[in-house]
Amino acid sequence: MMRRGGAKVASLLLKSARPRLFSTATTSTIRSMSHETTSHLLKPAASMNTWIWSGPGGVRFASTASSGEKTPSPKKTEDDESSTGGNKGIASYWGVEPSKITKEDGTEWKWNCFRPWETYKADLTIDLSKHHVPTTFLDRLAYWTVKSLRWPTDLFFQRRYGCRAMMLETVAAVPGMVGGMLLHFKSLRRFEQSGGWIKALLEEAENERMHLMTFMEVAKPKWYERALVITVQGVFFNAYFLGYLISPKFAHRMVGYLEEEAIHSYTEFLKELDKGNIDNVPAPAIAIDYWRLPADATLRDVVMVVRADEAHHRDVNHFASDIHYQGRELKEAPAPVGYH
């Protein structure tokens, strides 16, 4: 009885599913097709990187990514190779292609790490002598933490200010990213705006990273200096992450003092350049485009604009700490977006 009942159920299911599974094709037709070669059933699509299945049930599409089939890529012309500098372009099924951007004079924009609308002229009139006098316990803790970090840096780099700047920027680019990331998640958790502070802090991190990209062209770090960067960045990131979670006002105050020390370091850098102890080489091309410097700019011009950037970061972080000291949140005060 159980066998007969099961056979009836299976027969009913087969009858109801047959139109969907086999469309108008009969089982005998399908059986006969299984003895024929099926190579003609797979046809490459002319306009897309897929294969078209034209078997029973109509036309269907199968992605080559899952089947492991390789689609022959179109041949590159000489014009295509010349436009990419001889490098082979990356073909994408998804149609994602980088846009071609030109400068104002019509020449090709060569940088992918930043765009023309992200460039600016540094404000060199900013007051470099401003200093926040520590008054509270957290202020003193932040101040002496930065001072204690300066001692081993002076001992290791001494007067090699190019390598010192490279090391400084790998650390200085961490706080903005950590603060922006934590504010980003806070905004998501609380379903609230950030007052622009996420963007402002991430802008700071990106600006510091561009400092590093510039000094990488000037100072070629040795292997042990690269190893030191990895070690210091790993320790500093985790320490600052925990510090920001515990007390944002302490974290921002410490960055403010860190930027004050950066101003001092770049001032010493300029003195060595003026004395002739460091060659005043031509400015790297990336710096000329990023800060809109004149074509004949030198390393001294680069140090000047970088020092001005650090002064702006000093003001932003001391301002952020003051907001927290007043018992308010950053979102309550408009963020200085675009304030380099």
Q: Return binding residues.
A: 169, 208, 211, 259, 310, 313
> Which amino acids are annotated as binding site for Fe cation, given as ranges?
169, 208, 211, 259, 310, 313
Structure-token match 């316990």, residue found: 137
